[in-house]
Structures are given as C-alpha cells and as structure tokens.
Amino acid sequence: MASEMLGLVNETTNASFMSFEEAENSMIQSWFLMSNPCTIVSLLLAYLFIVLKFGPDNMKSRPAYNIKYIVMAYNVMQIYINTNIFLKMFTTPGSLEYFSKHSCHPLRPDLNPVRSAIMEAMHIYFVTKVLDLSDTIFFVLKKKQSHVTFLHVYHHTLMPIAVWTYIKYYREEDGVVVGFLNSFVHIVMYTYYFLAGLGPEVQKYLWWKKYITKLQLIQFGLVITWMCTMFVLNCHLSRFIFYLAVGNSFVFIYLFTDFYIKAYTKKNSSLIEQNKTECQKSR
C-alpha cells in the first residue's frame, strides 16, 4: 500500500514537472527571436556581412554620418534596460534568498518561486545582447572602422548566441549570476559613453575610462571564480556551460589585457618618450 502511494506521488510529481516544462518551453518559444536557431544565426551572419564588408565598402565614398544624438539616446536606453535587469535580482521577492540557498543545488523548476521573473529578465538580457550589435554599426556609420577590432566583433557575435543557447536549452541558476554581473558592467560602460558624448566640457572629467577595461577584466575573473567554485563543490552544473563560460572568459581576459596594454600602457610610454624628446629639443 505504501509503495503504491509513493508511486502515485511520484507520478503526480513527474506529471506536474512535465506540465510546467511544456508550458515554459511554449512560453519561451513565443518570445522575440527565440523560436528557432536559424533566426539568431541569420541575424548574426547579416551583422558580420554589414560591419565587415557591406558597410565599410559603402562608406568609402561617403562622409561620416552625424548620429551623435541617436547614439546618446541609444546609450540612455542601454543604461535604463541594464539597470532594470540588474535591479531585478534585488526587487524580485525572494530572489536573493533563493540564490543564496539554492545556487549550488537548485530546486526543481516548477518549485522555484522566482523562476518566471528571472527567466523574463534573462530574455531581456538576451535582447540587450542583440541590441549591442548597434555599437558596431554606429562605428561603421561614423567611419571609425579601426574600432571594429577582432575583440569587438568576437565579443558582440558570441554573446547573443551564447545567451540564446542558455535560455533555450539550459536555464539553470549558475548562468543567471553571470548575466546580472554583466548588466552592472554595462551600466557603467554606457554611462561613460553617454557622458563622453556631452562634449569636451565633460570629457575632461572622464579620467576613469581605463578603469572600465579593468572592471571588465574583474568581471571575467569573477565568472571564472564562480564557475570553478560551482565545479569544485560538485554543484548542479552543465559541463558544456562550464567550459563555455570559463574558456571564453580566459579568451576575453587575454584580448582585453592586450587591448589595455596597447591603449593605455604603450600609449603612456609613447607620451613619456615624446615629452623627453621635446624637452631635449628645447635645451
């Protein structure tokens, strides 16, 4: 009798979970750009064609577009959206308590009280990764093709497909923390871009530009630490997500460090040498 009751409970529990999973899959299927991988892959291929071939070729014989106010409005929108995503962790009732207790061994999705709110936030986060593609298009329209570096294009191409894959097939708690952390970094980054767009009067106070790159490097270090901690503690963690997050974090650390050295360290060295030369000439 007891075994029959236990079997009935298990069947009911499994049916409840399957019903929840089907409903969640159906909901995600209806979300923007989430129906099938062909959509996001086609979008990214079009992006690569535009920023690497079509755009530069067409801008050769054209003057740079004056899109200052469009870019500033775009920066404000990015600040607003990323702030809302980041605050979702703190404003969703029970969110902090849930992640503090269940990040390592999450509850079954149908028993997770913050599941729907967090998944909706992650979808908005995915949309921001698609929106980020505009950064490169703005560079092309302003004839700043030198800004369209391998680091920039690699980062902007990888993030949308990685987040899409996470939402579509994985949807576990370990990746959520990474998304919220990245949203905070983007709040700082787009705030800087907005202030820089206000002109020389404001730009002279933006001495902290190089610290944005340092913040990004800290972010990647925290991602590696978070994922490795989850791995060592034998938490519920997809090996695919682990290797994807950690592997790409190391790639980004290498690329961002290389950028930092070229943009700031070597630049400062060149200025010092230039000043020495000018001093010697003036003697």
Select the more confidently predicted residue: 168 or 4. 168
Average pLDDT, the chain: 86
- Our CA angle for 155, 160, 161, nearest 5°, is 100
| % of the chain at pLDDT higher than 70 | 86
List of residues 6+ apart from 187 with CB closer than 8 A: 79, 82, 83, 86
- Does residue 5 register a pLDDT over 90? no
Select the more confidently predicted residue: 11 or 239. 239
Select the more confidently predicted residue: 70 or 277. 70
pLDDT tens for each residue of 53-86: 999 999 999 999 999 999 999 999 999 999 999 9
From residue 165, alpha-carbon distances to 139, 221, 261, 277 in Å are 28, 22, 33, 54
- Our CA angle for 77, 82, 85, nearest 5°, is 130
pLDDT score, position 86: 95
Q: Position of tokens 């969703």?
A: 92
List of residues 6+ apart from 89 with CB closer than 8 A: 95, 96, 99, 121, 180
| Per-residue confidence band for 4, with pLDDT thresholds at 50, 70 and 90 | low
pTM of the complete model: 0.85
The closest of 159, 217, 165, 149 to 34, measured between CA atoms, is 165
Residues with catalytic function: 155
Among 5-19, 81-95, 232-246, which is the least confidently predicted range? 5-19
Select the more confidently predicted residue: 138 or 27. 138
pLDDT score, position 8: 45
pLDDT score, position 1: 55
pLDDT tens for each residue of 127-186: 999 999 999 999 999 999 999 999 999 999 999 999 999 898 887 777 888 999 999 999
The predicted model gives 35-57 an average pLDDT of 96
- Does residue 260 register a pLDDT over 60? yes
Distance of CA 84 to the CA centre of its chain: 14
The closest of 247, 175, 187 to 216, measured between CA atoms, is 187
| % of the chain at pLDDT higher than 90 | 59
The predicted model gives 264-275 an average pLDDT of 56
